Amino acid sequence: MNLLLQDIRFGVRMALRTGKGDAMGPVLKRCLGLALVGIAIGLALFVPIGLPLDSLLFGVSGINPVARVGVGGALMPVAAMAGYLPAQRAAKVDLVAALRCE
């Protein structure tokens, strides 16, 4: 239900011809919020999961916090681009033409 409501809000913003930033903002917030939740869960579980994996890793400890935070920091720009590109493409769609096709 929540996804449908967000799709409707996105469509209404686009129909009212708000700026592209106004329409893309909620999409990016949701994408980055989900990425932050995933990174937080990963950081919370890195000690219990990292210790058993110590024997499989070469050159780095299983509980190396620098590596874990570095991976989380590297994932944020990837998540931003993963949300930005579809939102930008959706913001370019002419709603009248899209509704006529439906």
Domain boundaries, the chain: 2-101
Q: How far apart are CA 61 and CA 37, in angstroms?
A: 24
Q: How far apart are CA 93 and CA 102, in angstroms?
A: 14
Lowest mean pLDDT among 3-12, 37-46, 67-76: 3-12
The mean pLDDT of the chain is 76
- CA distances (Å), 11 to each of 8, 14, 39, 98, in order? 5, 5, 30, 11
Taking the whole predicted model, whether its pTM rises above 0.75 is answered as no
pLDDT in tens, 73-87: 899 999 989 888 887
Q: pLDDT over 90 for what percent of the chain? A: 8
* Angle (nearest 5°) at CA 99 between 93 and 102: 115
SS3 of residue 94 by DSSP: coil
Looking up tokens 């917030």 gives 29
* Closest C-alpha to 34, from 98, 71, 78: 78
Of 53-57, 73-77, 88-92, which one has max mean pLDDT? 73-77
